[in-house]
Structure 1
Amino acid sequence: MTALHDPCHAADPVDQDDFTELTARHRRELHVHCYRMLGSFEDADDLVQETFLRAWRARDDVRDDGVRAWLYKIATNACLDAIRSRKRRAPYLQPYPDTLLDELSPDRIVVERETIELAYLAAIQLLPARQRAVLILRDVLDWSAAETARLLDLTVPAANSALQRARATLRSTQWTPSRPSGDEQALLTGMIEAHEHADIDHFIRLVRDDIRISMPPAPMTYLGVASMKPLFDLAFGPDGMGEWRLLPTSVNRTPAAASYLRRPGEVGFRPFKLDVFRVVDGLVTQIHVFDARMFDDLGLPKELGDDA
């Protein structure tokens, strides 16, 4: 992780072509920043557009600050404004495709799993917005205390105090990062095979007894293997939904499976859901089940045939 410095300064008024050249290369990392702040892929889209609109209106200021830091200041303040205007938090977190995270230039910023996985995002969404911003700038983006204070119009002691409170709250959530392990691909393959073949015993061997399954935006959470029987009956029972085909993918630097369903009487397998797995010590501890709206962003097929 590196601090955000940009030597690029503009000496003359910036026209639209210059503005695009100066700002476009920062779009993806700003999108990831807004996503961390808001927990929503779709809201991040809107906030990046708002960032560039505000930047265009203030384009003459670009000569006074490094372009990258200047854009981060605008994006962070746009996110803080959006959070203040919300009547409530986003109803649920959304996944972020790894293919888009990989668009980031490696010499700019590396998106590590512990700073983007859903468990981390859920934990930092509990922070007050300004503390969340300080934590992201300091601990994720590696800004200095002085840079963070300047961006948020705080004193350095105030920025440091906000960081200490944010870290304490994060510790109290009992969040711990899940570390990538060599057996994750084999585990994902096993989960896919168990799902496609309706092999419940195999599935149970791959998960922890205290597994948690959530289905945003539905508020309920299934806790433990025993609670999953209604899900098994719905998906695989004699009156179940149909046949399944799954494709491996990844979001938020964690393994995931895209599920396609062929209902009785249908020809092809159509997009149905996205399962995102959290793996700890070689077993699945949590599954977030999302709808299929992210399939296009993941570059997944619109339909599968029998040869899939």
Structure 2
Amino acid sequence: MFEVMTASKAEQVAARTNEAFERLAEPLRREIKLHCYRMLGSVHEAEDLVQETYLRAWRGFDGFEGGLFRAWLYKIATNACLNALEARKSAQRVLPDQMGSPAIGMPDGVPATEVAWLEPYPDSQLESIADDQPNPEVRYAAREAVQLAFVAAIQQLPPRQRVALLLCDVLGWAATETATLLGGSTASVNSALQRARETLATRYPEGRPLAVARPSVAQQRLLDRYLRAWEDHDLDGFVALLKEDATFTMPPWLQWYAGREAIRSFFAIAWQSCRGMRVIPAAANGQPAFAVYARTDADPRFTANGIHVLTLEGDRIATMTLFLEPRMFEMFGLPLVLEES
């Protein structure tokens, strides 16, 4: 009888511990995932690291000595990310325009699938994450710090500089708190932070990305025209939406294009092999996005083609990043084959 009662009591204690852990940890899951994404540049890797983080935290929860649980969870997640980056062949994920000069002709060869490409982050996974940070140490608003160009820029930082910038300038941690997490001195954190800021200043001369507001009424009309131009294969209408110096990248292809005429020349040829498109509005990295389905002579179905992420400047499109990777559709909750209505 004693053994049965003891086992029952142990189960009750374990149940209360699990309940306490879930109550503290689950509301933080999405922001921890976003932190891992910023560190790693990959939604798929971030998902794996969140699972690892929560498993480590659950196993160590009995040893949690109080204090701020959120900071403790970030410490576990950050160390897991640093370990993952150390195990990688390259600590960076990139976009094509970070690897060379713009192309002139059409791509030749095959996509560079061996390159670790940056991935887009679905806006649906940003829901319920606080959009405002009252901490005066925060340098980047939440929507700025998730922009595709910003995430691409911080991937160029060494991992510990990346940590210092994300914790101090994005999350608003003090240098002393960051030093405790990294196991170093406050001076070393301030030094890493200064170097990270200097590197970003070459990308953002004004010290930060341009603020990204939600599309205005005029910009929403621009996006509607983009959708129609793609579905109608209206090359002139599409090119008219671009800034004169617009850029276009399409990982996993290394080639990228700069300027209206270069982009026009590419799509004048690329669209010839397509026999129809369906375009679905989406959102990624706090920016307008579309999921594009295409069909060809070889396959009459509308199958997943790419996720388009756009940067708007005024009444024109400044950048287009086309992620030509069908598996990303799953991240956006979209099917690989579109049922025709």
Picking from 155, 159, 178, the partner of 2:185 is 155
Picking from 130, 134, 137, the partner of 2:164 is 134
Q: Is the 8 A contact 1:213 1:287 kept in 2?
A: yes
Picking from 292, 297, 301, the partner of 1:264 is 297
Q: Is the 8 A contact 2:282 2:291 kept in 1?
A: yes
Picking from 79, 104, 109, the partner of 2:129 is 104
Distance 2:211 2:297 in 1: 39
SS of the residue 2:124 aligns to: helix
Pairs within 5 Å for 1:126-205? 126-174=156-204, 176-180=209-213, 181-182=215-216, 183-205=218-240
Distance 2:132 2:169 in 1: 18
Q: Is the 8 A contact 2:148 2:285 kept in 1?
A: yes
TM-fit CA distance, 1:301: 4.7
* Counterpart amino acid of residue 60 in structure 1: D
Q: Is the 8 A contact 1:188 1:256 kept in 2?
A: no
Point out the more displaced range, 106-115 or 209-218: 106-115
Distance 1:83 1:302 in 2: 30
Q: Is the 8 A contact 1:275 1:288 kept in 2?
A: yes
Superimposed CA distance per residue, residues 225-244 of structure 1 (whole angstroms, 9 cap, x where no aligned partner): 2223453234433xx22101
SS of the residue 1:15 aligns to: helix
Point out the more displaced range, 102-111 or 292-301: 102-111
Superimposed CA distance per residue, residues 56-113 of structure 1 (whole angstroms, 9 cap, x where no aligned partner): 2322232333211100011011111111111113411101111110142568899732
SS of the residue 2:58 aligns to: helix
Map of 2:10 onto structure 1: none
Gaps of 5+ in 2: 1-12, 94-115, 135-139
Superimposed CA distance per residue, residues 131-157 of structure 1 (whole angstroms, 9 cap, x where no aligned partner): 111111111111122222222222222
Q: Is the 8 A contact 1:112 1:253 kept in 2?
A: no
Q: Is the 8 A contact 2:122 2:331 kept in 1?
A: yes
Q: Is the 8 A contact 1:178 1:280 kept in 2?
A: no
Structure-2-length-normalised TM-score: 0.79
Q: How many residues align?
A: 294
SS of the residue 2:156 aligns to: coil
Q: Is the 8 A contact 1:271 1:303 kept in 2?
A: yes
TM-fit CA distance, 1:253: 0.5
Distance 1:65 1:219 in 2: 47
* Counterpart amino acid of residue 184 in structure 2: L
Distance 1:106 1:165 in 2: 27
SS of the residue 1:189 aligns to: helix
TM-fit CA distance, 1:171: 0.5
SS of the residue 1:296 aligns to: helix
Structure 1 position 243 matched with structure 2 position 276: yes
* Counterpart amino acid of residue 157 in structure 2: L
Map of 2:313 onto structure 1: 280
SS of the residue 1:45 aligns to: helix
Map of 1:72 onto structure 2: 74
Distance 1:79 1:159 in 2: 17
Higher Cα Rg, which structure: 2
SS of the residue 2:233 aligns to: coil
Superimposed CA distance per residue, residues 237-293 of structure 1 (whole angstroms, 9 cap, x where no aligned partner): 3xx221011011100000011111133375542222111111123221111111232
SS of the residue 2:34 aligns to: helix
* Counterpart amino acid of residue 169 in structure 1: T
Map of 2:107 onto structure 1: none
Superimposed CA distance per residue, residues 27-81 of structure 1 (whole angstroms, 9 cap, x where no aligned partner): 1110000000111101101111111122123222323332111000110111111
Distance 1:292 1:177, change over 3 A: farther
TM-fit CA distance, 1:178: 4.8
